[in-house]
Chain A
Amino acid sequence: MIRVQAAAFDPGAELAAFGRGLGHDTGGIASFTGMVRDGGGLVALTLEHYPGMTERQLEKIEAEARRRWDLTGTLVVHRYGRMLPGEPIVLVATASSHRRAALEACEFLIDWLKTKAPFWKLEETEAGATWVEAKASDDAAAERW
């Protein structure tokens, strides 16, 4: 399931609900929560996105994960708008009968999401606002898969 929303979310509550919705053929759940990091002087982070294309790309990435691994469930929740240091930005969760598929698919989803889903981060500090530049290391991480 894909959700793109402005509202804050509670990763623990999301994971619990995801777990309750899974069949008994599930043997494990892997998850990744991305949070707003204050590397020094960050006041807030604003995520801009491309409504429509964002959901479309996330659905494609989710479908690719389900094609490559035998999964019993997937969940991606991604926020947009203004958020503060420490707040969750994104939650990826994958469930499978066995741990390896769940762990690998979770890592794949966040790596691909970071290089394909149309979101852009604007960092706000006391000095002003600057757009975050894409990292070559993120491209390399996505190309491993």
Chain B
Amino acid sequence: MKLIYFAWLRSRIGLGEERVELPAAVHNVAELIDWLKTRGPGYAAALADPSVVRVAVNQDYVGPDHALAPGDEVALFPPVTGG
């Protein structure tokens, strides 16, 4: 699975994108975030407050219950501030 991070999530995690193999226990977006938090202090800091983390799967916004598939492109980012 391809994971992409933007804005302050990218700077706190320390990388812009990575490929991961999901543990068998991770089925949806909420479980992915919980698992990512265990991968290091940068992840834990970036994902500490889920209310300011937006998630897109294959470039569409999804909620915490969205089911994940191995080939998905999952992006995590803060609320957007364009315009």
Q: Is A120 among interface residues, defined by CB-CB distance under 8 A? A: yes
Q: Is B83 among interface residues, defined by CB-CB distance under 8 A? A: yes
| Central interface residue in B7, B60, B78, B81, by most chain A CB within 10 Å | B81
Say whether A120 contacts B6, CB under 8 Å: yes
Q: How many residue-residue contacts, CB under 8 A, span A and B?
A: 70
What is the chain B residue whose CB lies nearest that of A134? B79
Say whether B81 contacts A119, CB under 8 Å: yes
- B55-83: CB near A (< 8 Å → 1, else 0) gives 01001110000000000000101111111
Q: Is A132 among interface residues, defined by CB-CB distance under 8 A? A: yes
- Report if A131-B8 is in contact (Cβ < 8 Å); known contacts: A50-B75, A53-B56, A53-B75: yes
Which secondary structure characterizes the binding site on chain A? mixed
Say whether B82 contacts A50, CB under 8 Å: no
In the complex, A68→B60 CA distance in Å?
A: 21
Q: Which residues of B contact A113 (CB under 8 A)?
A: 82-83
CB distance from A11 to the nearest CB of B (A): 14
Q: Is A90 among interface residues, defined by CB-CB distance under 8 A? A: yes
Within 8 A of B (CB), among A87-107: 89-90
Select B7's contact among A48, A56, A78, A115, beta carbons within 8 Å.
Answer: A48
What is the chain A residue whose CB lies nearest that of B75? A50
CB distance from A106 to the nearest CB of B (A): 12
In the complex, A122→B80 CA distance in Å?
A: 11
Say whether A48 contacts B59, CB under 8 Å: no
- Report if A133-B81 is in contact (Cβ < 8 Å); known contacts: A50-B75, A53-B75: yes
Q: Which residues of B contact A119 (CB under 8 A)?
A: 80-83
Say whether A120 contacts B4, CB under 8 Å: no
**Chain B interface (Cβ < 8 Å from any Cβ of A):** 4, 6-8, 56, 59-61, 75, 77-83
14 A-B pairs (CB sep. < 8 Å): A47-B82, A49-B82, A53-B56, A53-B60, A53-B75, A89-B83, A114-B81, A116-B80, A120-B7, A120-B80, A131-B8, A132-B81, A133-B79, A133-B81
